[in-house]
Amino acid sequence: MTTENGGDVRLAGISKTYGSFTAVKPLDLTVPQGSFFALLGASGCGKTTTLRMIAGLEEPSSGTVMLGDQDVTALPPYKRPVNTVFQSYALFPHLDIFENVAFGLRRRGIKSVKKQVGEMLDLVQLGEQARKKPHQLSGGQQQRVAVARALINHPKVLLLDEPLGALDLKLRRQMQLELKRIQTEVGITFVHVTHDQEEAMTMADTVAVMNAGRVEQLGAPADLYENPGSTFVANFLGTSNFIEAEVAGRSGEDLTLKAGDGKLVLPAARCTAATAIGGKVLVGVRPEKISLTHADDAGSIPDGRNRITGRVVDSSFIGVSTQYVIDSPLCDAFEVYSQNIERDSRLAPGAEVVLHWNPAHTFGLDAAQDIEAGAAKVEEDAAA
């Protein structure tokens, strides 16, 4: 056994079917040791099933699970050097906090657990609560007990199944930082399952976006956000605006596109679609990259920026920024987020405006996909 990749998780061709339903399509995934890895997706996308297959709680229909150099596919969960923080924690209600945390150590026949449990409870700042029962703790405290109970076993990999889902927003932010701190401190590989894109981006080094049983895209949070490879990723991670366009030509590193009567520029490297002249592409741009200028001042817009015209239909002031909805001939609900640095009072509903942005922030996608993919799912999830 080599120590360098002792904590790597390698899934090879792993899949899971229940009867005729395929929860996870054959999947290859490597989680490097010591990384904080997030599996992100809407409910039912197969992310939890994938996690449970790593834990051994679900038997894969095909493929292998490797931990470092060890093939653990056939091992039952109690023989795997992996621990899980369950959704809604699954703390043992009949045991106090101390015994909950000591459970794993005791099952492995370790007699003197007091020091280790004490240290672990201190790490999660629950030293005072050792003799309380789980139901006497708050949600955030229970969550920390669940983390301590798993971490005390020094697993090669810690699996977290929506661990923050039951907490309110403020506590969730706090626990995100806390978990990140603990991960940095102990250096164990974390695999974190979540449907919350902000949570995944805040905490993880690498995010795998899952959709309908397969990994749609994998990368660092900033890469995924700036260069989404599909409309699903573009919509699931934040918000995107799309314009249907046609490739008109090529100049150096850039593609020239024709959209309506206008002309847009897209760096060829940021286009994942085929770029033959005359081919269709979807041009995407994030709402916060766009600047709004009133049509009267259109002359002041510097050259070399992508620009389209439109009319403000809606604006909502949310403190740090104002969110505008713009109607344009190219796209009927363009979203623009504008920082409230110098507010132009003319930008009210009804105003004619010019939208413009740096072409470097444009991305191009294959036009043969659903523009709405991923967007509706987020709303459903929020409603659920």
Partner 1 sequence: MPFVRWLRRNLVVIAGLVTLGYLLLPNVVVTVFSFNKPKGRFNYEWQQFSLDAWTNPCGVADMCGSLSLSLQIALWATIGATVLGTMIAFALVRYRFRARGAVNSLIFLPMAMPEVVMAASLLTLFLNMGAQLGFWTILIAHIMFCLSFVVTAVKARVMSMDPRLEQAAQDLYAGPVQTFVRVTLPIAAPGIAAGALLAFALSFDDFIITNFNAGSTVTFPMFVWGSAQRGTPVQINVIGTAMFIVAVLLVLAAMLVGKRKNKAV
Tell me: does residue 78 bind partner 1 (CB under 8 A). Answer: yes
**At its nearest, how many Å lie between partner 1 and the CB of residue 158?**
11
Q: Which of residues 150-209 bind partner 1 (CB under 8 A)?
A: 150, 153
Q: Which of residues 24-63 bind partner 1 (CB under 8 A)?
A: 55-57
- d(Cα 275, Cα 34) in Å, to the nearest integer? 39
Long-range contacts of 179-183 (CB under 8 A, 24+ apart): 179/147, 179/203, 180/36, 182/123, 182/124, 182/147, 182/151, 183/36
Tell me: does residue 88 bind partner 1 (CB under 8 A). Answer: yes
- d(Cα 331, Cα 341) in Å, to the nearest integer? 27
Tokens 């050097």 belong to residue:
81
Tokens 């934040």 belong to residue:
238
Tell me: does residue 127 bind partner 1 (CB under 8 A). Answer: no
3-state SS assignment for residue 129 = helix
Task: Supply φ then ψ for residue 263, to 5 degrees.
Answer: -130, 135
Among 26, 66, 86, 359, binds partner 1 (CB under 8 A): 86
- d(Cα 337, Cα 321) in Å, to the nearest integer? 6
**Which residues partner with 247 through β-bridges?**
257
- Closest CB to partner 1 among residues 116, 315: 116
Tell me: does residue 128 bind partner 1 (CB under 8 A). Answer: no
Burial class of 343 by CB neighbour count within 10 A (0 to 12, 13 to 18, 19+): exposed
Q: What are the strands of the beta sheet with 206-211, ordered from one edge?
A: 82-85, 157-161, 189-194, 36-40, 206-211, 214-219
**At its nearest, how many Å lie between partner 1 and the CB of residue 92?**
6
**At its nearest, how many Å lie between partner 1 and the CB of residue 141?**
14
* Interacting span for partner 1 (CB under 8 A) from 1-9, 100-108, 285-293, 375-383: 100-108
- Closest CB to partner 1 among residues 86, 337: 86
CB 216 within 8 A of CB 232: yes
Residue 88's contacts (CB-CB under 8 Å, 6 or more residues apart) are: 165, 166
Tell me: does residue 66 bind partner 1 (CB under 8 A). Answer: no
Tell me: does residue 93 bind partner 1 (CB under 8 A). Answer: yes
- Closest CB to partner 1 among residues 56, 310: 56
**At its nearest, how many Å lie between partner 1 and the CB of residue 326?**
47
Residue span 129-148 as binding mask against partner 1, x where in contact by CB under 8 A, dash where not: --xxx--x------------
* Interacting span for partner 1 (CB under 8 A) from 87-95, 189-197, 222-230, 258-266: 87-95
* Interacting span for partner 1 (CB under 8 A) from 3-11, 70-78, 261-269, 365-373: 70-78
Residues interacting with partner 1, by CB under 8 A?
55-57, 76-79, 82-84, 86-88, 90-94, 96, 103-104, 107-108, 131-133, 136, 149-150, 153
